[in-house]
Amino acid sequence: MRSTTSSSSGPRRPAATGADDLTTRARIRDAAIARFARDGFGASLRTIAADAGVSAGLVVHHFGSKDGLRAACDTYVFEAVRDAKTEAVSPENPDAGPMSLLAQLATIEDYAPVFEYTLRSLQAGGDLARSFVAHLTEVTQEYLAAGVAAGTIRPSRDEAARASYLVSLSLGSLLVDGVLRDRTEPRDPGADLREYVGRVMLPALEVFTEGLFVEPTLLDAYVQHTTHQEETP
């Protein structure tokens, strides 16, 4: 029996867009990931089928429905990101913090569709986006904790809240930047990300090393305000 319907255990190497020696099912899934990433999840089954060089009926034959295809793409992308994370974590690169994973992910050429799909999924919301953000928050918290222990990163009054906030900052900024990009001209995700980093790196480093306010008045007032509220409920 060939690996015709291997839904549970996908292949290890993810989304090599040039390889056509894949299972038809895998080819459809890769085409769907690329098309979903480019046009959003409103892309039609017929377009995806045409991209994969198959008929529309075959897609639903393999995945049951469009939602099934979407679910298959989600789990595949999630596993790809999870696998890529472990080998991409290297804390000595000069990045503005928790988005180093994403940045390194996009540099790898093969992962470009996965990276785009992840951003598109974050834009659309849904379970993949939620679990992805949760996962990234967890990684970020560990990353920050290591920095705090090493004395390179300032401690926070609420480490979990800070990690969550930093993730939403980084991802949100990246998302806004991508959403505002003109979608008529042809896009190169690698170049886009590189331009984004070049445009954002200086203010990011400024804010994250020097801060924004010269005096801690606002922070002190807020901390005192909340602690007073806690003492007298």
Instruction: Name which of DNA, a second copy, none residue 122 binds, using a CB cut-off of 5 to 8 Å depending on partner kind.
Output: a second copy
Binding residues (CB under 7 A) for DNA: these are 4-5, 24-25, 43-47, 53-58, 60-62, 65-67
SS3 at position 155: coil
Considering only the stretches 13-21, 71-79, 184-192, 201-209, report the one whose residues sit in contact with a second copy under the rule CB under 8 A: 201-209
Q: Does 71 bind a second copy (CB under 8 A)?
A: no
CA distance 40 to 201: 28
Q: Tokens at residue 22, please?
A: 């894949």
Instruction: Name which of a second copy, DNA, none residue 219 binds, using a CB cut-off of 5 to 8 Å depending on partner kind.
Output: a second copy
- Which residue in 52, 54, 166, 193 binds a second copy (CB under 8 A)? 166
Q: Does 152 bind a second copy (CB under 8 A)?
A: yes
| Cα angle 137-142-73, degrees, rounded to a multiple of 5 | 40
Residue with tokens 């679910």: 71
14 contact partners, CB below 8 Å, separation of at least 6: 76, 79, 80, 83, 84, 110, 111, 114
Q: How far is the CB of 117 from a second copy (least distance, A)?
A: 15
176, 198 in Cβ contact below 8 A? no
| Cα angle 92-94-100, degrees, rounded to a multiple of 5 | 80
Q: Does 158 bind a second copy (CB under 8 A)?
A: yes
SS3 at position 40: coil
Q: What is the DSSP letter of 12?
A: S
Q: Does 24 bind a second copy (CB under 8 A)?
A: no
Instruction: Name which of a second copy, DNA, none residue 71 binds, using a CB cut-off of 5 to 8 Å depending on partner kind.
Output: none
Residues that bind a second copy (CB under 8 A): 42, 94, 97, 122-125, 129-130, 133, 151-154, 156-158, 161-162, 164-166, 168-169, 171-177, 179-181, 183, 199-216, 218-219, 221-223, 226
